[in-house]
Protein backbone atom coordinates (compact mmCIF):
# COMPACT_ATOMS: atom_id res chain seq x y z
CA UNK A 1 0.00 0.00 0.00
CA UNK A 2 1.62 3.19 -1.07
CA UNK A 3 1.47 6.13 1.24
CA UNK A 4 2.24 9.59 -0.04
CA UNK A 5 3.66 10.88 3.19
CA UNK A 6 5.88 13.54 1.79
CA UNK A 7 5.28 15.29 -1.51
CA UNK A 8 7.77 17.84 -2.80
CA UNK A 9 7.13 19.95 -5.89
CA UNK A 10 9.91 21.20 -8.10
CA UNK A 11 8.90 23.46 -10.96
CA UNK A 12 11.39 24.12 -13.73
CA UNK A 13 11.27 27.28 -15.82
CA UNK A 14 9.40 26.80 -19.10
CA UNK A 15 11.57 26.11 -22.14
CA UNK A 16 10.56 27.76 -25.43
CA UNK A 17 10.57 25.26 -28.26
CA UNK A 18 11.25 27.89 -30.94
CA UNK A 19 14.43 29.89 -30.65
CA UNK A 20 14.72 33.64 -31.29
CA UNK A 21 16.75 33.28 -34.59
CA UNK A 22 14.21 30.77 -35.86
CA UNK A 23 11.36 33.12 -35.12
CA UNK A 24 13.17 36.03 -36.80
CA UNK A 25 13.67 33.87 -39.92
CA UNK A 26 9.99 33.04 -40.01
CA UNK A 27 9.00 36.68 -39.66
CA UNK A 28 11.42 37.72 -42.40
CA UNK A 29 10.27 35.04 -44.80
CA UNK A 30 6.63 35.87 -44.20
CA UNK A 31 7.15 39.60 -44.77
CA UNK A 32 9.13 38.90 -47.96
CA UNK A 33 6.42 36.60 -49.27
CA UNK A 34 3.64 39.04 -48.53
CA UNK A 35 5.60 42.01 -49.88
CA UNK A 36 6.29 40.12 -53.09
CA UNK A 37 2.56 40.02 -53.78
CA UNK A 38 1.91 43.72 -53.21
CA UNK A 39 2.71 45.31 -56.56
CA UNK A 40 1.99 44.60 -60.18
CA UNK A 41 3.78 45.47 -63.48
CA UNK A 42 5.08 48.98 -64.26
CA UNK A 43 2.36 51.33 -65.43
CA UNK A 44 2.86 52.96 -68.90
CA UNK A 45 4.13 56.55 -68.98
CA UNK A 46 0.75 57.76 -70.25
CA UNK A 47 -1.06 56.30 -67.22
CA UNK A 48 1.52 57.72 -64.81
CA UNK A 49 1.20 61.12 -66.46
CA UNK A 50 -2.62 61.09 -66.37
CA UNK A 51 -2.48 60.01 -62.68
CA UNK A 52 -0.22 63.00 -61.93
CA UNK A 53 -2.48 65.43 -63.81
CA UNK A 54 -5.58 64.01 -62.16
CA UNK A 55 -4.13 64.43 -58.67
CA UNK A 56 -3.01 68.03 -59.36
CA UNK A 57 -6.43 68.94 -60.73
CA UNK A 58 -8.66 66.94 -58.37
CA UNK A 59 -11.48 69.31 -57.44
CA UNK A 60 -11.05 71.74 -56.00
CA UNK A 61 -7.50 72.33 -57.29
CA UNK A 62 -5.12 73.98 -54.86
CA UNK A 63 -4.52 77.68 -55.48
CA UNK A 64 -0.78 77.19 -55.50
CA UNK A 65 -1.14 74.71 -58.37
CA UNK A 66 -3.40 76.96 -60.41
CA UNK A 67 -1.07 79.88 -59.87
CA UNK A 68 2.18 78.06 -60.49
CA UNK A 69 0.96 76.13 -63.53
CA UNK A 70 -1.04 79.03 -65.07
CA UNK A 71 -4.20 76.94 -65.20
CA UNK A 72 -7.63 78.06 -66.36
CA UNK A 73 -11.01 76.79 -65.36
CA UNK A 74 -10.51 73.41 -67.02
CA UNK A 75 -7.39 72.31 -65.20
CA UNK A 76 -7.21 68.66 -66.19
CA UNK A 77 -7.96 69.27 -69.88
CA UNK A 78 -5.36 72.05 -70.03
CA UNK A 79 -2.63 69.90 -68.54
CA UNK A 80 -3.46 66.86 -70.65
CA UNK A 81 -3.29 69.04 -73.73
CA UNK A 82 0.04 70.55 -72.70
CA UNK A 83 1.64 67.21 -71.84
CA UNK A 84 -0.08 65.16 -74.56
CA UNK A 85 -0.64 62.33 -72.08
CA UNK A 86 -3.80 61.32 -73.91
CA UNK A 87 -1.67 59.65 -76.55
CA UNK A 88 -1.42 55.93 -75.64
CA UNK A 89 2.15 55.93 -76.97
CA UNK A 90 3.14 58.89 -74.81
CA UNK A 91 6.57 58.76 -73.18
CA UNK A 92 8.03 61.27 -70.77
CA UNK A 93 10.41 63.77 -72.35
CA UNK A 94 13.86 64.05 -70.90
CA UNK A 95 14.06 66.26 -68.96
CA UNK A 96 12.38 65.65 -66.62
CA UNK A 97 12.13 61.89 -67.45
CA UNK A 98 9.94 59.16 -65.93
CA UNK A 99 12.01 58.62 -62.80
CA UNK A 100 12.05 62.33 -61.97
CA UNK A 101 8.29 62.62 -62.49
CA UNK A 102 7.74 59.58 -60.21
CA UNK A 103 9.98 61.10 -57.57
CA UNK A 104 8.12 64.42 -57.70
CA UNK A 105 4.73 62.65 -57.65
CA UNK A 106 5.48 60.97 -54.28
CA UNK A 107 4.38 63.94 -52.07
CA UNK A 108 0.99 63.79 -53.79
CA UNK A 109 0.58 60.14 -52.59
CA UNK A 110 0.91 60.97 -48.89
CA UNK A 111 -2.87 61.10 -48.50
CA UNK A 112 -3.29 57.67 -50.14
CA UNK A 113 -2.71 55.73 -53.37
CA UNK A 114 -6.36 55.81 -54.42
CA UNK A 115 -6.91 57.96 -57.53
CA UNK A 116 -9.79 59.96 -56.10
CA UNK A 117 -7.81 60.90 -52.97
CA UNK A 118 -7.22 64.70 -53.01
CA UNK A 119 -3.64 65.59 -52.05
CA UNK A 120 -3.14 68.20 -49.37
CA UNK A 121 -2.18 71.64 -50.69
CA UNK A 122 0.95 71.56 -48.48
CA UNK A 123 2.10 68.47 -50.37
CA UNK A 124 1.24 70.15 -53.69
CA UNK A 125 3.33 73.17 -52.59
CA UNK A 126 6.22 70.80 -51.72
CA UNK A 127 6.06 69.21 -55.13
CA UNK A 128 6.04 72.58 -56.93
CA UNK A 129 8.89 73.96 -54.78
CA UNK A 130 11.22 71.02 -55.14
CA UNK A 131 10.52 70.07 -58.76
CA UNK A 132 11.02 73.14 -60.97
CA UNK A 133 11.93 70.88 -63.92
CA UNK A 134 8.58 69.10 -63.72
CA UNK A 135 6.80 72.44 -63.31
CA UNK A 136 8.58 73.67 -66.43
CA UNK A 137 7.45 70.58 -68.33
CA UNK A 138 3.86 71.02 -67.13
CA UNK A 139 3.84 74.69 -68.14
CA UNK A 140 5.53 73.93 -71.44
CA UNK A 141 8.33 76.29 -70.49
CA UNK A 142 11.82 75.60 -71.78
CA UNK A 143 13.99 74.09 -69.06
CA UNK B 1 -2.68 47.13 -46.39
CA UNK B 2 0.97 46.36 -45.70
CA UNK B 3 0.60 47.25 -42.02
CA UNK B 4 -2.35 44.89 -41.66
CA UNK B 5 -0.37 42.13 -43.31
CA UNK B 6 2.54 42.64 -40.92
CA UNK B 7 0.24 42.61 -37.90
CA UNK B 8 -1.37 39.37 -39.05
CA UNK B 9 2.05 37.79 -39.60
CA UNK B 10 3.14 38.84 -36.12
CA UNK B 11 0.11 37.23 -34.51
CA UNK B 12 0.63 34.04 -36.44
CA UNK B 13 4.34 33.87 -35.60
CA UNK B 14 3.69 34.62 -31.95
CA UNK B 15 1.24 31.76 -31.73
CA UNK B 16 3.89 29.35 -32.96
CA UNK B 17 5.74 29.42 -29.64
CA UNK B 18 4.87 26.50 -27.35
CA UNK B 19 6.60 26.38 -23.96
CA UNK B 20 7.06 23.10 -22.09
CA UNK B 21 6.59 23.31 -18.32
CA UNK B 22 8.20 20.57 -16.28
CA UNK B 23 6.97 19.87 -12.75
CA UNK B 24 8.64 17.31 -10.51
CA UNK B 25 7.21 16.02 -7.26
CA UNK B 26 8.53 13.43 -4.87
CA UNK B 27 6.25 11.04 -3.11
CA UNK B 28 7.72 9.22 -0.16
CA UNK B 29 6.58 5.67 0.25
CA UNK B 30 6.59 3.34 3.27
CA UNK B 31 9.55 2.73 5.56
CA UNK B 32 11.46 -0.25 4.17
CA UNK B 33 14.00 -0.84 6.92
CA UNK B 34 16.01 0.75 9.68
CA UNK B 35 19.69 0.01 9.95
CA UNK B 36 22.82 1.33 11.59
CA UNK B 37 25.90 2.41 9.73
CA UNK B 38 29.24 3.88 10.60
CA UNK B 39 29.87 7.43 9.50
CA UNK B 40 33.24 8.90 8.61
CA UNK B 41 35.88 9.04 11.32
CA UNK B 42 37.18 12.42 12.43
CA UNK B 43 40.55 12.83 14.14
CA UNK B 44 40.00 13.82 17.77
CA UNK B 45 43.56 14.90 18.59
CA UNK B 46 45.67 13.80 21.56
CA UNK B 47 44.43 13.05 25.05
CA UNK B 48 45.99 11.65 28.17
CA UNK B 49 44.85 9.18 30.76
CA UNK B 50 46.23 9.88 34.24
CA UNK B 51 46.88 7.30 36.96
CA UNK B 52 48.26 8.65 40.21
CA UNK B 53 50.54 6.19 42.06
CA UNK B 54 52.13 8.39 44.66
CA UNK B 55 54.89 9.49 44.47
CA UNK B 56 54.61 9.38 40.69
CA UNK B 57 51.94 10.24 38.18
CA UNK B 58 51.63 7.89 35.26
CA UNK B 59 50.46 9.66 32.12
CA UNK B 60 49.39 7.65 29.07
CA UNK B 61 49.17 9.68 25.88
CA UNK B 62 46.73 8.44 23.24
CA UNK B 63 45.64 9.59 19.86
CA UNK B 64 42.03 8.86 19.08
CA UNK B 65 39.30 9.45 16.57
CA UNK B 66 35.66 10.37 16.84
CA UNK B 67 33.47 7.64 15.39
CA UNK B 68 29.96 8.44 14.30
CA UNK B 69 27.25 5.79 14.32
CA UNK B 70 24.11 6.69 12.41
CA UNK B 71 20.67 5.14 12.59
CA UNK B 72 19.31 5.28 9.07
CA UNK B 73 15.75 4.88 7.89
CA UNK B 74 15.38 3.74 4.33
CA UNK B 75 12.31 4.74 2.38
CA UNK B 76 11.10 4.10 -1.13
CA UNK B 77 10.54 7.30 -3.06
CA UNK B 78 8.87 7.97 -6.37
CA UNK B 79 10.01 10.93 -8.43
CA UNK B 80 7.14 11.95 -10.68
CA UNK B 81 7.94 14.38 -13.50
CA UNK B 82 5.00 15.93 -15.31
CA UNK B 83 5.61 17.82 -18.54
CA UNK B 84 2.93 19.94 -20.09
CA UNK B 85 2.86 22.41 -22.99
CA UNK B 86 -0.22 24.51 -22.55
CA UNK B 87 0.30 26.29 -25.87
CA UNK B 88 0.80 23.08 -27.84
CA UNK B 89 -2.90 22.51 -28.52
CA UNK B 90 -3.71 26.04 -29.71
CA UNK B 91 -0.47 26.11 -31.70
CA UNK B 92 -1.38 22.87 -33.46
CA UNK B 93 -4.95 24.00 -34.15
CA UNK B 94 -3.92 27.39 -35.48
CA UNK B 95 -1.12 25.80 -37.50
CA UNK B 96 -3.50 23.35 -39.17
CA UNK B 97 -5.97 26.12 -40.01
CA UNK B 98 -3.25 28.44 -41.28
CA UNK B 99 -1.64 25.68 -43.30
CA UNK B 100 -4.98 24.67 -44.80
CA UNK B 101 -5.86 28.21 -45.84
CA UNK B 102 -2.38 28.87 -47.21
CA UNK B 103 -2.32 25.63 -49.16
CA UNK B 104 -5.78 26.30 -50.55
CA UNK B 105 -4.72 29.77 -51.70
CA UNK B 106 -1.68 28.30 -53.47
CA UNK B 107 -3.58 25.40 -55.00
CA UNK B 108 -6.38 27.57 -56.30
CA UNK B 109 -4.25 30.58 -57.21
CA UNK B 110 -5.13 30.01 -60.86
CA UNK B 111 -8.73 30.86 -60.07
CA UNK B 112 -7.77 34.42 -59.20
CA UNK B 113 -7.43 37.14 -61.82
CA UNK B 114 -3.92 37.78 -63.07
CA UNK B 115 -4.84 41.34 -64.17
CA UNK B 116 -2.99 44.01 -62.19
CA UNK B 117 -4.97 46.56 -60.21
CA UNK B 118 -4.93 49.45 -62.67
CA UNK B 119 -6.88 51.69 -60.32
CA UNK B 120 -3.72 52.47 -58.37
CA UNK B 121 -0.15 53.31 -59.31
CA UNK B 122 2.30 53.21 -56.42
CA UNK B 123 5.23 55.48 -55.72
CA UNK B 124 7.55 53.47 -57.94
CA UNK B 125 5.22 53.66 -60.88
CA UNK B 126 3.84 50.12 -60.61
CA UNK B 127 0.22 49.12 -60.81
CA UNK B 128 -1.30 47.42 -57.79
CA UNK B 129 -0.80 43.67 -57.44
CA UNK B 130 -3.16 41.29 -59.18
CA UNK B 131 -5.50 39.15 -57.07
CA UNK B 132 -3.41 36.10 -58.03
CA UNK B 133 -0.24 37.77 -56.72
CA UNK B 134 -1.96 38.65 -53.49
CA UNK B 135 -3.32 35.13 -53.09
CA UNK B 136 0.11 33.64 -53.81
CA UNK B 137 1.85 35.95 -51.30
CA UNK B 138 -0.62 35.18 -48.54
CA UNK B 139 -0.53 31.48 -49.40
CA UNK B 140 3.26 31.32 -49.05
CA UNK B 141 3.17 33.36 -45.86
CA UNK B 142 0.48 31.24 -44.27
CA UNK B 143 2.26 28.00 -45.20
CA UNK B 144 5.55 29.34 -43.81
CA UNK B 145 3.88 30.12 -40.53
CA UNK B 146 1.53 27.17 -40.37
CA UNK B 147 4.10 24.42 -40.97
CA UNK B 148 6.36 25.31 -38.00
CA UNK B 149 3.32 25.92 -35.85
CA UNK B 150 2.13 22.37 -36.56
CA UNK B 151 5.61 21.00 -35.93
CA UNK B 152 6.03 22.87 -32.66
CA UNK B 153 2.57 21.95 -31.46
CA UNK B 154 3.29 18.31 -32.27
CA UNK B 155 6.62 18.41 -30.43
CA UNK B 156 4.95 20.05 -27.45
CA UNK B 157 2.25 17.40 -27.33
CA UNK B 158 4.88 14.70 -27.77
CA UNK B 159 6.87 15.99 -24.85
CA UNK B 160 3.83 16.26 -22.62
CA UNK B 161 3.22 13.42 -20.25
CA UNK B 162 4.31 11.93 -16.96
CA UNK B 163 7.38 9.88 -16.09
CA UNK B 164 7.88 8.05 -12.81
CA UNK B 165 11.19 6.83 -11.42
CA UNK B 166 11.65 4.96 -8.16
CA UNK B 167 14.61 5.17 -5.85
CA UNK B 168 15.64 4.49 -2.28
CA UNK B 169 16.09 7.38 0.10
CA UNK B 170 18.15 7.29 3.29
CA UNK B 171 17.26 9.48 6.20
CA UNK B 172 19.53 9.72 9.23
CA UNK B 173 17.20 9.63 12.21
CA UNK B 174 19.78 9.47 14.97
CA UNK B 175 23.54 9.81 15.31
CA UNK B 176 25.87 9.10 18.19
CA UNK B 177 29.52 10.03 18.45
CA UNK B 178 32.05 8.14 20.51
CA UNK B 179 35.79 7.99 20.92
CA UNK B 180 37.48 5.18 19.04
CA UNK B 181 40.77 3.96 17.67
CA UNK B 182 42.77 4.81 20.78
CA UNK B 183 46.47 4.35 20.01
CA UNK B 184 49.42 5.18 22.26
CA UNK B 185 51.63 7.95 20.91
CA UNK B 186 55.30 8.40 21.64
CA UNK B 187 57.09 11.70 21.91
CA UNK B 188 58.25 14.12 24.54
CA UNK B 189 55.59 15.10 27.04
CA UNK B 190 56.01 18.54 28.59
CA UNK B 191 54.07 20.15 31.40
CA UNK B 192 52.92 23.64 30.42
CA UNK B 193 53.25 26.33 33.06
CA UNK B 194 52.43 30.02 32.98
CA UNK B 195 55.91 30.78 31.67
CA UNK B 196 55.90 28.07 29.01
CA UNK B 197 56.70 24.42 28.62
CA UNK B 198 58.94 22.55 31.03
CA UNK B 199 61.52 20.11 29.82
CA UNK B 200 59.84 17.21 28.04
CA UNK B 201 60.00 13.59 29.13
CA UNK B 202 60.06 10.82 26.57
CA UNK B 203 57.11 8.44 26.55
CA UNK B 204 57.49 4.73 26.08
CA UNK B 205 54.58 3.00 24.44
CA UNK B 206 52.73 6.23 25.16
CA UNK B 207 53.44 6.13 28.91
CA UNK B 208 55.58 8.44 31.03
CA UNK B 209 55.86 8.87 34.80
CA UNK B 210 55.98 12.39 36.20
CA UNK B 211 57.54 13.11 39.61
CA UNK B 212 55.80 15.43 42.11
CA UNK B 213 58.28 18.24 41.50
CA UNK B 214 57.22 18.42 37.84
CA UNK B 215 53.69 19.30 38.93
CA UNK B 216 54.27 21.37 42.04
CA UNK B 217 53.87 24.72 40.31
CA UNK B 218 50.92 26.01 38.32
CA UNK B 219 49.96 23.71 35.46
CA UNK B 220 48.02 25.09 32.50
CA UNK B 221 48.15 21.95 30.36
CA UNK B 222 50.20 19.19 28.78
CA UNK B 223 51.82 19.02 25.35
CA UNK B 224 53.40 16.19 23.37
CA UNK B 225 56.02 17.47 20.94
CA UNK B 226 54.27 20.83 20.96
CA UNK B 227 50.79 19.42 20.29
CA UNK B 228 48.23 20.07 23.03
CA UNK B 229 47.11 17.03 25.01
CA UNK B 230 43.60 17.11 26.44
CA UNK B 231 42.31 15.55 29.63
CA UNK B 232 38.91 14.20 30.51
CA UNK B 233 37.25 15.65 33.61
CA UNK B 234 38.09 12.59 35.72
CA UNK B 235 41.72 12.66 34.66
CA UNK B 236 41.91 16.38 35.28
CA UNK B 237 40.54 15.90 38.77
CA UNK B 238 43.09 13.17 39.47
CA UNK B 239 45.88 15.41 38.18
CA UNK B 240 44.73 18.23 40.49
CA UNK B 241 44.67 15.85 43.46
CA UNK B 242 48.21 14.71 42.63
CA UNK B 243 49.33 18.32 42.37
CA UNK B 244 47.78 19.06 45.76
CA UNK B 245 49.75 16.13 47.21
CA UNK B 246 52.89 17.43 45.56
CA UNK B 247 52.40 20.79 47.27
CA UNK B 248 51.82 19.41 50.77
CA UNK B 249 53.89 16.21 50.90
CA UNK B 250 56.17 15.43 52.55
CA UNK B 251 54.75 17.39 55.46
CA UNK B 252 57.73 17.05 57.78
CA UNK B 253 57.81 16.20 61.46
CA UNK B 254 55.63 17.79 64.15
CA UNK B 255 58.31 20.32 65.05
CA UNK B 256 58.41 21.57 61.47
CA UNK B 257 54.63 21.78 61.31
CA UNK B 258 54.52 23.66 64.59
CA UNK B 259 56.87 26.28 63.18
CA UNK B 260 54.80 26.93 60.08
CA UNK B 261 53.10 30.33 59.98
CA UNK B 262 49.31 30.24 60.12
CA UNK B 263 48.79 31.25 56.44
CA UNK B 264 51.04 28.42 55.32
CA UNK B 265 49.15 26.01 57.54
CA UNK B 266 45.91 27.09 55.94
CA UNK B 267 47.28 26.75 52.41
CA UNK B 268 48.73 23.32 53.14
CA UNK B 269 45.50 22.25 54.81
CA UNK B 270 43.65 23.24 51.64
CA UNK B 271 46.03 21.16 49.56
CA UNK B 272 45.96 18.23 52.00
CA UNK B 273 42.15 18.18 51.78
CA UNK B 274 42.38 17.70 48.04
CA UNK B 275 45.22 15.22 48.36
CA UNK B 276 43.11 13.10 50.70
CA UNK B 277 41.09 11.96 47.70
CA UNK B 278 44.15 10.11 46.35
CA UNK B 279 44.35 6.63 47.92
CA UNK B 280 47.66 5.75 49.49
CA UNK B 281 49.21 9.21 49.29
CA UNK B 282 48.69 10.10 52.96
CA UNK B 283 46.72 13.27 52.29
CA UNK B 284 44.10 12.52 55.00
CA UNK B 285 46.78 12.02 57.65
CA UNK B 286 48.49 15.26 56.64
CA UNK B 287 45.18 17.09 56.77
CA UNK B 288 44.52 15.82 60.29
CA UNK B 289 47.95 16.94 61.49
CA UNK B 290 47.56 20.35 59.87
CA UNK B 291 44.08 20.78 61.36
CA UNK B 292 45.42 20.00 64.80
CA UNK B 293 48.31 22.38 64.34
CA UNK B 294 46.03 25.13 63.12
CA UNK B 295 43.61 24.59 65.99
CA UNK B 296 46.46 24.88 68.43
CA UNK B 297 47.63 28.13 66.84
CA UNK B 298 44.30 29.85 66.11
CA UNK B 299 40.97 28.29 67.05
CA UNK B 300 38.80 29.30 64.05
CA UNK B 301 35.43 29.40 65.77
CA UNK B 302 36.09 30.84 69.15
CA UNK B 303 38.35 33.76 68.26
CA UNK B 304 37.27 37.31 67.44
CA UNK B 305 37.97 39.18 64.21
CA UNK B 306 40.77 41.04 65.87
CA UNK B 307 42.28 37.77 67.15
CA UNK B 308 42.23 36.38 63.63
CA UNK B 309 43.90 39.54 62.34
CA UNK B 310 46.51 39.24 65.01
CA UNK B 311 47.11 35.57 64.24
CA UNK B 312 47.44 36.02 60.48
CA UNK B 313 48.96 39.50 60.29
CA UNK B 314 47.43 40.07 56.79
CA UNK B 315 49.82 41.81 54.44
CA UNK B 316 47.20 42.46 51.78
CA UNK B 317 44.12 44.64 52.07
CA UNK B 318 41.42 43.84 49.54
CA UNK B 319 39.03 46.76 49.49
CA UNK B 320 37.36 48.67 46.63
CA UNK B 321 40.04 50.81 44.96
CA UNK B 322 42.96 49.36 46.90
CA UNK B 323 46.31 48.76 45.20
CA UNK B 324 46.36 45.18 46.50
CA UNK B 325 43.05 44.51 44.75
CA UNK B 326 44.60 45.61 41.44
CA UNK B 327 47.56 43.31 42.10
CA UNK B 328 45.19 40.44 42.86
CA UNK B 329 43.26 40.96 39.63
CA UNK B 330 46.57 40.77 37.71
CA UNK B 331 47.64 37.60 39.52
CA UNK B 332 50.29 39.47 41.43
CA UNK B 333 49.41 38.09 44.88
CA UNK B 334 50.97 34.68 45.56
CA UNK B 335 49.14 31.76 47.14
CA UNK B 336 49.42 31.60 50.89
CA UNK B 337 49.21 35.34 51.37
CA UNK B 338 47.17 36.42 54.36
CA UNK B 339 44.58 39.02 53.37
CA UNK B 340 41.91 41.23 54.87
CA UNK B 341 38.84 41.74 52.72
CA UNK B 342 35.98 44.24 52.66
CA UNK B 343 33.18 43.67 50.18
CA UNK B 344 29.54 43.02 49.40
CA UNK B 345 27.90 39.59 49.22
CA UNK B 346 26.69 38.71 45.72
CA UNK B 347 25.36 35.20 46.28
CA UNK B 348 26.04 31.87 47.91
CA UNK B 349 28.17 29.74 45.56
CA UNK B 350 28.05 26.49 47.55
CA UNK B 351 28.23 25.06 51.06
CA UNK B 352 30.36 27.45 53.13
CA UNK B 353 31.26 29.26 49.90
CA UNK B 354 30.11 32.83 49.25
CA UNK B 355 30.81 35.09 46.30
CA UNK B 356 31.84 38.54 47.48
CA UNK B 357 32.22 41.56 45.26
CA UNK B 358 35.18 43.79 46.09
CA UNK B 359 35.01 46.75 43.74
CA UNK B 360 35.23 45.26 40.25
CA UNK B 361 36.82 42.03 41.50
CA UNK B 362 34.89 38.93 42.57
CA UNK B 363 36.39 36.86 45.39
CA UNK B 364 35.15 33.52 46.67
CA UNK B 365 35.18 33.39 50.46
CA UNK B 366 35.23 29.96 52.08
CA UNK B 367 34.56 29.55 55.76
CA UNK B 368 34.70 26.57 58.08
CA UNK B 369 32.74 28.31 60.77
CA UNK B 370 29.29 29.88 60.71
CA UNK B 371 28.56 32.95 58.63
CA UNK B 372 27.52 35.95 60.72
CA UNK B 373 23.78 36.14 61.35
CA UNK B 374 21.45 36.08 59.49
CA UNK B 375 23.71 34.18 57.06
CA UNK B 376 24.93 35.33 53.65
CA UNK B 377 22.42 37.44 51.77
CA UNK B 378 22.70 39.63 48.71
CA UNK B 379 23.95 43.12 49.38
CA UNK B 380 25.32 42.27 52.84
CA UNK B 381 28.54 44.16 53.56
CA UNK B 382 31.14 41.95 55.18
CA UNK B 383 34.72 41.93 56.39
CA UNK B 384 36.85 38.80 56.33
CA UNK B 385 40.36 37.84 57.23
CA UNK B 386 42.02 34.72 55.85
CA UNK B 387 44.52 33.31 53.41
CA UNK B 388 44.43 33.45 49.63
CA UNK B 389 44.78 29.82 48.48
CA UNK B 390 44.68 30.23 44.72
CA UNK B 391 41.70 30.26 42.38
CA UNK B 392 38.57 28.18 42.41
CA UNK B 393 36.22 27.35 39.57
CA UNK B 394 32.53 27.01 40.38
CA UNK B 395 30.47 26.46 37.26
CA UNK B 396 31.32 29.30 34.93
CA UNK B 397 32.79 31.35 37.75
CA UNK B 398 36.58 31.45 38.14
CA UNK B 399 37.69 33.66 41.03
CA UNK B 400 40.41 33.95 43.71
CA UNK B 401 39.62 31.92 46.82
CA UNK B 402 40.04 33.32 50.32
CA UNK B 403 40.04 30.68 53.04
CA UNK B 404 38.59 32.86 55.80
CA UNK B 405 39.42 32.44 59.45
CA UNK B 406 36.83 34.94 60.49
CA UNK B 407 33.99 36.78 58.79
CA UNK B 408 31.88 39.54 60.27
CA UNK B 409 29.27 42.01 59.11
CA UNK B 410 30.90 45.31 58.22
CA UNK B 411 30.28 48.02 60.79
The string of DSSP codes covering chain A is: ------EEEEEPPPEESS-HHHHHHHHHHHHHHHHHTSEEEEPPHHHHHHHHHHHHHSSSPPHHHHHHHT--S-HHHHHHHHHTTTSTT----TTT-HHHHHHHHGGGGTT-SSTTPPPPHHHHHHHHHH-HHHHHHHTT---
Given a cut of 50, whether residue B287 has pLDDT beyond it is yes
- Looking at the fold, whether A55 and A115 belong to one and the same domain comes out as yes
Alpha carbon distance B85, B74 (integer Å) = 35
Alpha carbon distance A53, B27 (integer Å) = 82
- Residues B292-332: pLDDT tens digits? 887 776 555 546 888 888 878 888 899 998 888 888 888 78
Here the ipTM equals 0.74
Tell me if A78 is assigned to some domain: yes
Residue from A25, A28, A33, A100 to probe the interface with B (highest B Cβ count within 10 Å): A33
- Looking at the fold, whether A33 and A97 belong to one and the same domain comes out as no
Q: What does the pLDDT read at residue B21?
A: 83
Q: What does the pLDDT read at residue B358?
A: 92
Segment B52-65 shows an average pLDDT of 88
Tell me if A92 is assigned to some domain: yes
Q: What does the pLDDT read at residue A102?
A: 92
Segment B259-278 shows an average pLDDT of 82
Is B181 within 8 Å of B213 (Cβ atoms)? no
- Residues B7-38: pLDDT tens digits? 555 555 554 455 678 889 989 888 999 999 88
Tell me if A117 is assigned to some domain: yes
Angle at B332 between CA B329 and CA B334, to 5 degrees: 115
Quickly state the pLDDT bin for B6 (edges 50, 70, 90).
Answer: low
pLDDT in tens, chain A (143 residues): 333 344 444 444 444 555 555 666 666 666 665 555 578 889 999 999 999 999 989 888 888 888 888 888 888 888 898 888 888 889 999 888 899 999 999 999 988 888 888 899 999 999 899 999 999 898 876 44
Given a cut of 90, whether residue B343 has pLDDT beyond it is yes
- Looking at the fold, whether A32 and A88 belong to one and the same domain comes out as no
Tell me if A128 is assigned to some domain: yes
Quickly state the pLDDT bin for B288 (edges 50, 70, 90).
Answer: confident
- Looking at the fold, whether A77 and A109 belong to one and the same domain comes out as yes
Q: What does the pLDDT read at residue A122?
A: 92
- Looking at the fold, whether A107 and A128 belong to one and the same domain comes out as yes
Q: What does the pLDDT read at residue A7?
A: 40
- Looking at the fold, whether A12 and A63 belong to one and the same domain comes out as no
Closest CA–CA distance from residue B94 to any residue of chain A (Å): 16
Q: What percent of chain B shows pLDDT beyond 70?
A: 93
- Residues B362-373: pLDDT tens digits? 999 988 766 777
Residue from A30, A54, A92, A98 to probe the interface with B (highest B Cβ count within 10 Å): A30
Tell me if A143 is assigned to some domain: no
- Looking at the fold, whether A71 and A126 belong to one and the same domain comes out as yes
- Looking at the fold, whether A49 and A100 belong to one and the same domain comes out as yes
Is B268 within 8 Å of B248 (Cβ atoms)? yes
Residue B128 in contact with partner chain A when CB distance is under 8 A:
yes
Q: Name every chain B residue with its beta carbon within 8 A of the beta carbon of A26.
A: 13, 16, 144-145, 148
- Looking at the fold, whether A28 and A63 belong to one and the same domain comes out as no
Mean pLDDT for chain B? Answer: 84
| Of the partner residues A12, A40, A106, the one whose CB lies closest to the CB of residue B127 | A40
For chain A, how many structural domains are there in total?
2
Q: What does the pLDDT read at residue B3?
A: 54
Tell me if A130 is assigned to some domain: yes
Tell me if A51 is assigned to some domain: yes
Q: What is the reported pTM?
A: 0.48
| Of the partner residues A2, A14, A33, the one whose CB lies closest to the CB of residue B141 | A33
- Looking at the fold, whether A17 and A80 belong to one and the same domain comes out as no
- Looking at the fold, whether A52 and A32 belong to one and the same domain comes out as no
- Looking at the fold, whether A32 and A72 belong to one and the same domain comes out as no
Residue A53 belongs to what domain range? Answer: 45-138
Q: What does the pLDDT read at residue B406?
A: 86
Q: Give the closest residue to A53 by CA, choosing from A79, A74, A72.
A: A79
Amino acid sequence: MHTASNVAHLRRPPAAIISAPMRAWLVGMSIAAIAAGCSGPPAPDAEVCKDLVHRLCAPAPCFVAINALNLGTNCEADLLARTRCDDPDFTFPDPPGRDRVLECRRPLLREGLELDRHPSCVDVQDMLDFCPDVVAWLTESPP
Amino acid sequence: MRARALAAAGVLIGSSCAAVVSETRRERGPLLRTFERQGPKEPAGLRAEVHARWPSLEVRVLSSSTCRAEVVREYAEEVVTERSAKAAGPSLALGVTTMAVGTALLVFRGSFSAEPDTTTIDGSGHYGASQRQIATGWGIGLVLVGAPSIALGGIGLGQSGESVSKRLVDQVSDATESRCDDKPVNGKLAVLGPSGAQEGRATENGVVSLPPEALRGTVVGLALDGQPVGLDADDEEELEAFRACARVLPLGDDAAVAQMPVPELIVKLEAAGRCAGLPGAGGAEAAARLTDALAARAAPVSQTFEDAVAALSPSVALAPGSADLVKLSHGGVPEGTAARLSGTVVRSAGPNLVLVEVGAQDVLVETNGAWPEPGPRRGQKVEAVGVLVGRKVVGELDAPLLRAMFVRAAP
